[in-house]
Structure 1
């Protein structure tokens, strides 16, 4: 797969842009409704995509090898599905032919996030969500 083909797998859900908390005892990862400060929540797109790794050093660069090892990726993530040899879902833009299908299917984070800069770090645990499955 070429880099462009790999990049096209992103369905635009922006779930990977949600802040995740890891339980120190169990190692379990919990998603929050807090988003990266670079996320345009209406478009579910990074506002500085080409510079995201400079502006946000902890932003993950997905590769086929890495996607196969990240157990916290949502079970809907195309990178994960392809790494596991599974088919893309019907709402994936490469299947449906439209970038809106991920939003219409209720998979994206559109309208469900708060920029992390708006919430004090001590309150992040209050924002754990359960609508993202891994």
Structure 2
């Protein structure tokens, strides 16, 4: 099997190849906070209301940008926005010239290794509909950034 992610740049990939880079972990759909003083990014364990917390997929993927205006589409047009992606994200890793993690679905052939290894949001998050936004800082989590 050709490992297109090792032979092509992100800009050379087809839309299907680009989409397949997403491991489906759901971490990019977590609410994040930025420290006003240090500008440090903090992940929380609070997920977007559109995220299905078992499948780790967006319930309205095609309409997400209209429904959630602050949702950021991962694209080459916004490479400077990649800093908010988790360290395990394939898009971020490839920009940083790092290999995909060994549990990535393109390597293992399924998402089960990712879920079994605890690399997704499954079983770790709550919906933003259950959290008062004023108290979001109480939900800062370290595991998404790893």
Q: Same fold (TM over 0.5)?
A: yes
> Aligned-pair distance for 1:132?
2.1
Unaligned runs of 5+ in 2: 1-12
After the TM superposition, which segments of 4 or more aligned residues of structure 1 sit over 2 Å from their partners? 64-70
| 1:1-134 matched pairs, under 5 angstroms | 1-67=13-79, 69-133=81-145
Unaligned runs of 5+ in 1: none
**TM-score, normalising length: structure 2:** 0.86
**TM-score, normalising length: structure 1:** 0.94
Alpha-carbon contact 1:68-1:84 (below 8 Å) kept: no
Question: In structure 2, do the counterparts of structure 1 residues 79 and 34 end up closer, same or farther at CA, with 3 Å as the change threshold?
Answer: same
Q: Hey, which of these two has a bigger chunk of helix by percent?
A: 2
> Aligned-pair distance for 1:73?
1.5
> Aligned-pair distance for 1:65?
4.7
How many residues of Structure 1 are paired with residues of Structure 2 in the alignment? Answer: 134
- The CA RMSD over aligned residues, in Å, is 1.3
Alpha-carbon contact 1:64-1:79 (below 8 Å) kept: no
